[in-house]
Structure formats: structure tokens, C-alpha cells
A and B are shown apart, each in its own frame.
Chain A
């Protein structure tokens, strides 16, 4: 029961952190200069993206509290309902590596909430606000590496660096899928957004391709540190979960490649644009579901002993 709750808390927390970073990256990089255009449709899109950022932060905060509560129970050995004795949570928060990382994460989440509240009151500061939240989202991702298996890996700082890069690349790509789906939904009904569809998709596609390269390089490095051999990959639970993740990742890459091909070859023809946007949107929603499966597998890997240690 505790392990299932751990997997749920990890899935939601990692997923929310990735969505936060992906949404900010989408607005800062993928939308590009179009994001600062002043039409009503763009402002509506920005409102929706900001709402996504806010909900990501809410999910990240709630799941962080759940994860913390579960860690107090896990580390102290108390039943979950009795885990919140002051001494136990204070010891976890102030005397463990996990607690110090959680202080930082909760502080960053609080800062992001404060910045958003400030930005909502002063609309002209929106771009600076998004840049600041973007930086916070990257720090949130990088700090996750300090509570992962990588933190306990024998080769440092390679373990932490590989994990942090892996998280950032995954977030920029698959964390950007939901904002992309929102953009495509709005672009079908808006002339001004429709004009920006091709450059936005091209930027997202190029960014995704770069991320896939980083994911493969950091994935090989992490696998070498945590699995160590083909035999361990094929004979341990950690290895099987990693293979499931690789298979899902492979499908995601194939779907991404198909979308890239469609964008390059067919989206330039105006007559096909409406149908293609609908098709791309369906593909992106399908990829988002697969991305959720990948994040769940990552959460399962987090509670499973690395194959190298067995």
C-alpha cells in the first residue's frame, strides 16, 4: 500500500515538475517572437498556458507534501497515520539529504506562486515573470536528481549530471506536448495563431530532436551506472522496467518522427492545413498518454533497487 502511494506521489510530482518546465519552455522558446504578439487569440493562449503552469504548481505542491509524508513514515518506520509526529518530520526535514532537497523544492514552489501572483497583478511584467518561473522550473527538475538513485551512484558528479540532463531534456520534449496540444486546438480556430503554426511546429520539432539526442546520451550513461550489464538488464526487475521504458520511448520517438515528416512535407500546403492540424493534435494527445506511461515507469524505477546493486 505504501509503495503504491509512493509511486502515485512520485508520478504526480515528477509529471507536474516536467509539465511546469515543458510549459515554460514552450512559451519562452517554442512560441518565440509569436508569443509576444498582441492579438486577442495569443493573449487567450497565454492565459491558458499560465493556467497550466498554476495547476502544475498546485499538483507539484500537493504531491510534494504527500511524498514528504510517505518519506517520514518510510524513514522513521512509523505507520503512515502516526508519521506526523513533530520530532519525525523535523528530523527528516532538517537532518537528511531528502529533507534539505525538499526545503529547496518547497521554497522554489512558493517563490513561483508568489511570482505568478505578482505577474497577474501587473500584466506588463508577464515576460519577465515567465522567464523567472522557467528558471525555477529548471531548478526544480535538477534538484530531483539529488533524491534519485543517481545521488547514491558511486561515480559522481557523472551520476547527478546525467540524471539532471535526462530530466531536463525529457521535460522540454514530453512536458511540452500538452501545451502544444492546447496551441493546436486554438490554432484551428484562429487566423493569427494559424499563421504561426508552421514556425511553432518546426521549432518544437527541432527542440524535440535535440532533446532525443540528449536523452539517448544521458540514458546510456545512467543505465551504465545503475544497471551495468546486459545480463542485469534482462534478469532484474529494474532491468525489465527500464526495457519497458525504452520500448515506450521508442514508440514516442517514432510518433515524433512521423509528426516531423508530416510537418516538413504536408503542412506547407494550405489546402490540407485544417485536417492536418486535427491529425497532429490527435497524435500529440496520444503521445501525451504515452509520456504519462513513461513517467509512471520512472516512478516505479525510483522505488526499485538498481540492478547494479543486486
Chain B
């Protein structure tokens, strides 16, 4: 019995040492680190797993950390792994996209990337 308790403790410690999240960014539009010539009308991110829209978000910030998206994050009608958020017209500059999603198997991931608008 003692050995079983020790084994179970070791298993739990091994699993809790570092638990990573599950829905990863597969591709985005504008693409990660890209430069676009004109202001995009929206940011789209496709993830590696289907996601829960109720707890998933995408925010877009300009260089002064002002939020420039329209706060209308929504799931694509035909692809439950694809999130959209609309953008106001963007001036030239660097923009930071911050995302946080919950996958259907309930795991949370977050990340960020930037893109540049030239005019």
C-alpha cells in the first residue's frame, strides 16, 4: 500500500511539473510577424483544435497599447477552430495580437504575435 501511495505521488509530481496547453496557433491572417500594405479588416486565427468561443478572445493593440479591434470575437460558422475579430481602420504602424483560447477538451492556451501595416 505504501508503495502504491509513493508511486501515485510520483506520477502526480511528474505530470504537474510542467503542464502545457493544448490548442496551438496553426495559422493566422495577417500572418505572424508579417507586413501588410493596407489595413486588414479583421484578424483571423486558426487553432489546432476546436475551441470554446465563450472563453476565447483575440485583442489587437497599437504601439500605444490602445485596443483597436471591435471587440466582436466570434467563431467561424463552418470551422470551429477558426476565430475572427474585426478591426477599425488601422494607420501605419506595428500591432500586437494577444489571444487566449479554451479548447473543447477544456485546456487553456494563450500567446501573442505582431504584424506591421505600412500605409
Q: Which of A's residues lie within 8 Å of B, judged by CB?
A: 3-4, 7, 71, 74-77, 91-92, 95-98, 147-149, 151-152, 237, 240-241, 244, 289-290, 292-293, 296-297, 300, 303-306, 309-310
Give chain A's interface secondary structure class: helix
Query: Pick the contact of A304 from B1, B8, B15, B54 — CB < 8 Å?
Result: B15
| A77 in contact with B11 (CB, 8 Å) | no
- CB-CB under 8 A from B8, the residues of chain A are 292-293, 296
Query: In this complex, what residue of A is CB-closest to B50?
Result: A152
Q: Which residues of B contact A3 (CB under 8 A)?
A: 15-16, 19
Do A71 and B106 have beta carbons less than 8 Å apart?
yes
Q: Contacts A77-B100, A152-B50, A304-B19 given; indicate if A293 touches B105 (C-beta within 8 A).
A: no
CA of A77 to CA of B107 in the docked complex: distance in angstroms? Answer: 11
CA distance in complex: A147, B19 (Å):
18
List 10 contacting pairs A-B, 8 Å CB cutoff, sorted by A.
A4-B12, A74-B106, A75-B54, A96-B54, A152-B104, A237-B14, A293-B4, A293-B7, A304-B20, A309-B48
Residue contact A7 to B16, C-beta cutoff 8 Å: yes
| Sample of 8 further A-B pairs with CB below 8 A, known A293-B7, A293-B11 | A3-B16, A4-B16, A75-B102, A91-B55, A95-B54, A96-B52, A151-B104, A304-B15
Residues of A within 8 A of B15 (CB): 3, 7, 237, 241, 300, 303-304
Binding site for A on B (CB under 8 A): 1, 4, 7-8, 11-12, 14-16, 18-24, 48-50, 52, 54-55, 100, 102-108
A147–B106 CB distance below 8 A: yes
Q: Which residue of A lies closest to B3 (CB)?
A: A289
Residues of A within 8 A of B103 (CB): 152
- Specify which chain A residues have a CB less than 8 angstroms from the CB of B100 in the assembled complex: 77
A99 → B minimal CB distance (Å): 9
Collect the chain A residues with CB atoms within 8 Å of residue B4's CB.
Answer: 289-290, 292-293
A residues less than 8 Å from B106 (CB atoms): 71, 74-75, 96, 98, 147
> Which residues in B have their C-beta under 8 angstroms from that of A147?
105-106
A305 touches B22 (CB 8 A): yes
User: Bound complex: CA of A154 vs CA of B108, how far in Å?
Assistant: 18
Nearest B residue to A244 by beta-carbon distance?
Answer: B11
